[in-house]
Chains A and B, each alone.
Chain A
Amino acid sequence: MRKKVNRNRLFLGILSASTIILLALTIVGLITFYIQVNAYQASGIDDYTTYSKLYVYIADSPDSTVSDNLYQDLREYGLQNDCYVERLGDDLVTSYTKEELMEIAIKSKVSGIILEGDDSEETAALIAKASDAGIPVVTVMSDASNSVRCSFVGMNNYSAGTEYGNLVLEAAADKGQDAVTTLVLMSSGDSNETALYMAIQEKLSGSNIELSSAVIESDSAFSAEEKIIDILDEYDSMPDILVCLSDINTRCAYQYIVDKNCVGTTTIIGYYDSDTVLEGIDRGAIEATFSVDTQQVAEYCVTALNEYFEMGNVNGYFGTDYVLINADNVSDYIKTDTDTEAADETD
Chain B
Amino acid sequence: MKRIRERLRHLKIRYKLVLIFLVTSMIAFGVNLFVYINLNSMLARIDMVYSTNISLNELSDDLTQVHAGLTGFLETKSTDDLELYYKYSQEIAEEIQELNNMPTDNVYKLRERNIRKMAESYLLTAENAVKAKRGRNIEKYTQYYKECSDMYDALNTYIYSLNNETFRINSESFNALIASLRYSEILTLSIFVIVSLMNILLIVLLTGTITRPLTSLSDKANEISRGGLENVAPLEIHTNDEVGNVTRAFNQMLASIKEYIAKIREQMVTESAMKEKSLLMENQMKDAQLKYLQAQINPHFLFNTLNAGAQLAMVEGADRTGEYISNMADFFRYNVKKDNEQVKISEEIELVDSYIYIMNVRYSGEIKFSKDIDESLTGVVIPSMIIQPIVENSVKYGIMNLEDRQGQIVLSLYEEDGFACIEVSDNGTGMDEGLIDKILARQPHERTDGEPAEEKSVGLANVISRLDIFFDKKEKIEIRSTPGEGTSVIIRIPMEKDLCTE
A interface list, Cβ under 8 A from B? 8, 12, 15-16, 18-19, 22-23, 25-26, 29-30, 32-34, 36-40, 42-43, 45, 47-54, 79, 83-84, 86, 91-94, 96, 100, 103-104, 107-109, 111
Contacts and interface: CB of A to CB of B under 8 A. Distances in A.
Contacts of A26: 31, 191, 194-195, 198
B110 interface: yes
Interface of B: 31, 34-35, 38-39, 41-42, 45, 48-49, 52, 102-110, 113-114, 117-118, 120-122, 150-151, 154, 157-158, 160-161, 164-166, 169-170, 172-173, 176-177, 180, 183-184, 187-188, 190-191, 194-195, 197-198, 201-202, 204-205, 208, 212
Contacts of B173: 40, 42-43, 45
B164 A49 contact: no
B168 to A, nearest CB: 9
Contacts of A18: 201
7 contacts: A30-B191, A51-B104, A84-B103, A92-B161, A100-B150, A107-B121, A108-B117
- Which of A23, A26, A111 has the largest number of chain B CB atoms within 10 A? A26
Contact of B110 (A39, A42, A86): A86
B184 A93 contact: no
A48 B102 CA distance: 10
Contacts of A109: 117, 120-121
A37 B191 CA distance: 14
B158 A79 contact: no
Nearest to A4: B219
- Looking at chain B's contact residues, the main secondary structure is helix
B103 A51 contact: yes
B42 A91 contact: no
Nearest to A8: B212
Contacts of A29: 187, 190-191, 194
B144 to A, nearest CB: 13
Given A32-B187, A48-B104, A39 B180 contact: yes
A53 B158 contact: no
Nearest to A106: B121
B93 to A, nearest CB: 16
A93 B161 contact: yes
Contact of A42 (B45, B103, B109, B208): B45
Contacts of A25: 194, 198
B153 to A, nearest CB: 8
Contacts of A33: 34-35, 38, 184, 187-188, 191
Given A26-B191, A37-B38, 13 more contacts: A19-B201, A19-B205, A22-B195, A22-B197, A30-B34, A33-B191, A34-B38, A36-B187, A40-B180, A54-B103, A83-B103, A93-B164, A100-B154
A23 B180 contact: no
Nearest to A92: B161
Contacts of B176: 40
